Amino acid sequence: MSQSFNWKISKLRYALVLMGTALCLGTVTAQASLPKAGNDDLALCADLELRVAGLFRVGTAGLYLERCDYVDRILESVPKQFSLYLQRSFRGDDLASTARDVLIENLDLASPDELPEALACMAEAYEDAEPGDRYDVIYRPGRGLTMYLNGEVLRHCDETEQAAKYFMIWFGERPFHRRMRDELISQARERN
């Protein structure tokens, strides 16, 4: 495990450690495994299969952008989508706790009370999910953040100066999983 692994971060990470090790990543070979989510203006730029201990499939992560070369501007105010197609059940409160913790860490905040409104709004949107469910988080400049579960809107959070920073969860300096971030970014650069 990397030295940057922060043991206090979340119940979800802790559960993964208890299951044996950190996430193992593999490139998804069939594009059909993570189809578009009804956003014709965003293209799939990267996708990864996520596994625990190299054995148990957790799901597939996908990054969508208007143009794959926008990956170097991922934390800026550009249209983007992060998708997670689940192969395991997850509790919504564990996903919300992880989102809050990673945002707090990346923004160097002292507590959840300091989270900007749009980020706190979205972090609280997660619901319990079962195998086969799909989360999509979409940011549109000037329109804000929207989270979907299986194509249905769970929550919309209005645009603020901070809304684009929600993607720090996956692409910040201290993301949920550094290797996942690096692989998604690398794939998007290769697809330019």
Q: What is the pLDDT of residue 68?
A: 95
Q: What is the pLDDT of residue 41?
A: 86
Question: What's the distance, Cα to Cα, between the start and end of the chain in Å?
Answer: 31
pTM of the complete model: 0.81
Q: What is the CATH number of the domain that holds 40?
A: 3.50.70.10
Q: Is residue 157 part of a domain?
A: yes
Q: What is the pLDDT of residue 51?
A: 84
CA distance 23 to 88: 13
Q: What is the DSSP string of 29-48?
A: S-GGGS---S-TT-EEEEEE
The answer to whether residues 70 and 62 touch, using CB atoms and an 8 Å cutoff, is: no
**127-138 residue pLDDT tens:** 999 999 999 999
Residue 163 in tokens: 């809304």
CA distance 126 to 146: 12
Q: How many domains does the chain have?
A: 1
Q: How far is CA 68 from CA 79, 142, 145, in A?
A: 11, 21, 20
Tell me which H or E stretch contains 97.
Answer: helix 92-106
**74-128 residue pLDDT tens:** 999 999 999 999 999 999 999 999 999 999 999 999 998 999 998 999 999 999 9
Q: Is residue 146 part of a domain?
A: yes
Q: Is residue 64 part of a domain?
A: yes
Which is more confident, 40 or 177? 177
Q: Is residue 180 part of a domain?
A: yes
Q: Does position 182 have pLDDT exceeding 70, yes or no? A: yes
Percent of the chain residues past pLDDT 90, beyond the cut = 65
Q: Is residue 6 part of a domain?
A: no
Q: Is residue 3 part of a domain?
A: no
Across the range 2-31, mean pLDDT stands at 41
Q: Is residue 111 part of a domain?
A: yes
Instruction: Give the range of the structural domain holding residue 101, as residue numbers without chain letter.
Output: 11-190
What confidence tier does 161 reach under pLDDT thresholds 50, 70, 90? Answer: confident
**23-78 residue pLDDT tens:** 444 444 333 344 455 456 899 999 999 887 777 888 999 999 999 999 999 999 99
Q: Is residue 40 part of a domain?
A: yes
